Amino acid sequence: MNRSRWVVPTFLIACSGTARPDKSPGTTSVDTVDSGTTDTVDWDAILASIGTTVVMPRFVDTTTAAHTLSAAAVDFCAAPDAAGLVATQDAWHGVMAVWKQGEPGQFGPVWMEPWRVGPKVDFWPARPDNIQELLEDDYAVDAESVAAMGGVHRGLPVLDWLLFAPGDDTLAAFTEAETAQRRCDYLVGLTGDVANQLQLLHDAWSPDGENWLANYTAPGPSHEYMSTREIMDEVVNRVIFSVENVRALKLGKPAGQDSGGTPQPGALESPQSGRTIENALDVLQGVDDRVRGDYAGVDGPGLLDAIPDADKRADITASYIAAYDAAVVAVSAIPAPLSETIYADPASVDVATEAVRDLQVVLQVDLAQALSVTIRFNDTDGD
């Protein structure tokens, strides 16, 4: 993903601006009086639970899925056939699902050097001309060589173009085309590089590695985030950014919502596989995991539980559930693939983006205000 800046809508900033209570790094609870039904909330415990229940398990699952994809590609290219192609495509879908679910938590090593894994794994939209140029070249395309390439030549979006050729031509592209062997070599190199990069990201967060997880479990002077307040601001902002990106980038931009109604097919994410709508739903699922604090059948406290005022917590929880469910229903109702719907039924995209906007308002106004979170500019779009 590129990181050009998207401005958070002004009306949302105006609604969510509140004074921030002081919270020193050592404080472990927030106690504010608003409606008279105030609880003492242990933010440290809530954030630690999100880190250990949602964040780290998903990094484990992402790494596992990436290595499964790499192995599938190696097996397929050893003897390309229809079954092997389907297995590799399914493995790619598996990585995409868990990676997109993790979008609401993409900060730190995803963008920071020396890791900067995000642009290496998910620079989108893909550049098909660059991909074709490399297929027709003789430059080495093993995992080590791919690791030295720029984002336009590596990552999951490039795999979307390799693994899902137009029509029913994908297997032929790996077996009959003039570039068939090189396509397989490139596939193996790309999937190996993705697995290596996601392993690096896992290790950066792991307590056995650089331990970025400690920013959730024990923020302080020895970590990137100095206090519980700082990491809470980060987590809430990333959740909001992700919802905005679903609305504006994954759905709205391809449908022409920022170009006078003219569809922009070049802005589609995962166009070859037709996975654009699934990507959006996966991101929303990742948002929900953090807001509720649950993942893979394990239930923990989430961001809603951090609201200290009990009455507000109940009201905002109800509003959030209604808005989230409505957004999921509306996005799911967009006919797939989005590459066709942006021409045939753009009204369905309009309905979905309005529902996602309603969800964004609940998070950016109601939740952020209740937690006294400072809203920042969105710097994680995929434009």
Question: What rounded mean pLDDT belongs to the chain?
Answer: 90
For 289-297, what is the mean pLDDT? Answer: 97
In this prediction, residue 348 carries a pLDDT of 98
**CA-based nearest residue to 255, from 337, 343, 151, 360:** 343
Under 8 Å between Cβ of 374 and 2: no
Under 8 Å between Cβ of 381 and 103: no
Report which of residues 71 and 382 the model is more confident about: 71
pTM (whole model) above 0.75: yes
Backbone angles phi and psi of 376, in degrees to 5: -110, 180
In this prediction, residue 378 carries a pLDDT of 85
Alpha helices by DSSP H, listed for 206-309, are 214-217, 228-245, 276-292
**How many other C-beta atoms are found inside a 10 Å radius of the C-beta of residue 47?**
27
Q: Is 9 a residue whose pLDDT tops 60?
A: no
3-state secondary structure of 38: strand
Under 8 Å between Cβ of 87 and 47: no
Domains recognised in the chain with CATH numbers: 10-48+227-370 (1.20.1420.20), 52-205 (1.20.1420.20)
Strand partners, 378: 6
- What pLDDT digit, counting tens, does each position of 103-119 carry? 999 999 999 999 999 99
**How many other C-beta atoms are found inside a 10 Å radius of the C-beta of residue 169?**
12
Place of tokens 């987590």: 235
3-state secondary structure of 301: coil
Under 8 Å between Cβ of 163 and 89: yes
**CA-based nearest residue to 181, from 141, 220, 228, 225:** 141
Interior angle at CA 88, CA 84 and CA 92, nearest 5: 170
Identify residue 138 by its one-letter amino acid code.
D
In this prediction, residue 380 carries a pLDDT of 54
Q: Is 32 a residue whose pLDDT tops 70?
A: no
Place of tokens 């032929």: 172
In this prediction, residue 165 carries a pLDDT of 85
